[in-house]
Chains A and B, each alone.
Chain A
Amino acid sequence: MDFDGLSVDQAPPITAPLRFFATAPIFAILAGFFIFFSDAAALSSRFAPQAIAVTHAITIGFFCFVMFGALVQMLPVLAGVKISNVDKVSKLSYILLLAGTLGMVFGLWFELQKLLLIASLLLGGGFLLLITAMLFAFRTVVHINASIRAMITSLIFALLITLLGVHLLASYGIGKIGASHLLFANIHSVWAIFGFAGILIVGVAFHILPMFYVAPKFEPFFQRFAVLIAVAGLVLWLILNLFADSYAIAAKSIIASLFMVFAIMAWLKVSARRRKVSDITIWYWKSAAVFMTVGTVAWVVNDFFDEKYTVFVSILVGGGFIFSVMSGMLYKIVPFLVWFHLNAKGYMSIPTMNDMINKKATKWQFALFIFSLIGFALSFFVSQFLGFFALTFIVSMVLLEFNIISAVLIYYKTIKTKPDFDMSMFTMKAE
């Protein structure tokens, strides 16, 4: 049994997750500017280069950066496994993903084919390096539970969508859009949202909601079968999509029902939590649950309208559900990491977790985010105010970055000023 995950010294260095966390909101700000400067009509088509640029600034730049930061940090704790050379692997993959994402979104925006080709290689390298390193780490896992099973499954989906994504982006890069391009793009996006992000969120929620909020545990039956049903639904959806497209809605209904049940259950669990104290992360979990419930219905109904509302559905599911959960995670993990690493270094006069981020600023950030999200959803139908909502979104993301950075700055300030240093807590009680 590997005990490395138990040790403070063996926990990944704070910079490994922080560089992902601190970068994520910047990509969201960039996405906001893209929305502001883009043509509303272009954004309402999911296959327009501008829409793909905005989507990936959010999905890779924000979602993946937060998810990878969290996974790098949480794998030793949640699964008791250690990523080999975690510092080097996370640093290198960060650089590749950062350069790749920038290359991709600007390449799409300015239609620079060579840049897209380079970006596809950088992104492929970054994703494959980190995903395989994490999957490889799981080989030593001893105690497999529903959360760990979900994490492994979601990483396998991540691997597959990376391969598809590299192919799709490289096709733009060489200017050869094959007949199967749209089909692959469809598989890529559905598997990314539900297979990678969706299953990961479900698995982590099984653990995190009872843990952080003393919420009732998810029913054993649901814990056991949720991932299985999601995988079965996603594979069936693929098969039907390939061979009997008109029946694909059956598989869609399975996936949608599962995630809707999850969203409703998450709402109920959070509401029935024993820790009644409410903070911004609770609000984010609740908004995620609401948007996912509406989003799954909209996703299925969209089929009856020739998929005319795909962008609208993406705003609800991607923006409302995944974005909310990721933002909530940032607010929970970053202050704790700062406290944890300072404490492990022996500093005792550290601000408490609640002092690291201004609570009022988090509430404003949340309100502006939800306001912008609803605005984006409405703009799909009435586009006059899209620019205005893009601006409120940018402000909310600047605030998010400010909130995250203010906690990070406390870490560096404390290290620099070296206040008191108390070793008494390190003395073990003699028996």
Chain B
Amino acid sequence: MSTIKGFLTEDHGRCDELFAKMEDEAAKSIENAKEAYEEFAKATERHFQMEERVMFLEFEQKTGMTQGPTAIMRHEHAQMRNLLAEMGKAMESKDKDKFFGNSETLMILMQQHNMKEEQMLYTMAQQHLSADADRIVDMMQSMIVE
């Protein structure tokens, strides 16, 4: 049986790996790191949407909490999207310092965010949605990113 917590936590780990790879490439050459940046940005956006368009909705429907933890997590997603965009711009203008300044900030923000999700939100989602866990994980896996 799938667990929502296990699935999404594993995806955090995958994003971290891609993040490290992107920084590694950018450290070597900011010009050649575009592919790694896009791979990371795509994986991150997919993760956000899996939550926002599937898991958060199910959670909100089940618990009736629309202004609770999911609203805060959506807000942090917006902050991270913004930093990702800044990194993209820095990459376009080949500004290494700006790129790494933003990537460092994103890393800490992302890790704080992941920790809150893994320790609180996912645990709670698992409790409320355990009967539908397989279906929800399936939906997240098959979701097409908008």
A residues sitting closer than 8 Å to B (CB atoms) are: 1, 3, 5-8, 77-80, 142-143, 145, 207, 211-212, 214, 273-277, 279, 332, 336, 339-340, 343, 348, 351-355, 425-429, 431
Contacts and interface: CB of A to CB of B under 8 A. Distances in A.
6 smallest CB-CB distances across A and B, nearest first, come from A352-B101, A274-B20, A354-B101, A211-B111, A214-B20, A353-B105
B2 to A, nearest CB: 20
B115 interface: yes
Nearest to A337: B108
A143 B97 CA distance: 38
Contacts of B107: 212, 275
B92 interface: no
22 contacts: A3-B69, A77-B116, A78-B115, A142-B123, A143-B120, A211-B111, A211-B115, A212-B107, A273-B20, A274-B16, A275-B107, A276-B27, A336-B108, A340-B109, A352-B98, A352-B101, A352-B105, A353-B101, A353-B104, A354-B97, A425-B81, A431-B53
Contacts, number: 106
B123 A339 contact: no
Contacts of B81: 425
Nearest to A333: B108
Given A275-B20, A276-B24, A6 B116 contact: yes
Given A5-B120, A353-B105, A277 B100 contact: yes
A294 to B, nearest CB: 31
A354 B71 CA distance: 29
Contacts of B121: 6
Interface of B: 16-17, 19-21, 23-24, 27, 52-53, 57, 68-69, 71-75, 78-79, 81-82, 97-98, 100-102, 104-105, 107-109, 111-112, 115-116, 119-121, 123-124
B117 to A, nearest CB: 9
A7 B74 CA distance: 11
Contacts of A276: 20, 23-24, 27
A376 to B, nearest CB: 32
Contact of A355 (B27, B71, B97): B97
A80 B16 contact: no
A76 to B, nearest CB: 9
A357 to B, nearest CB: 11
Contacts of B82: 348, 425
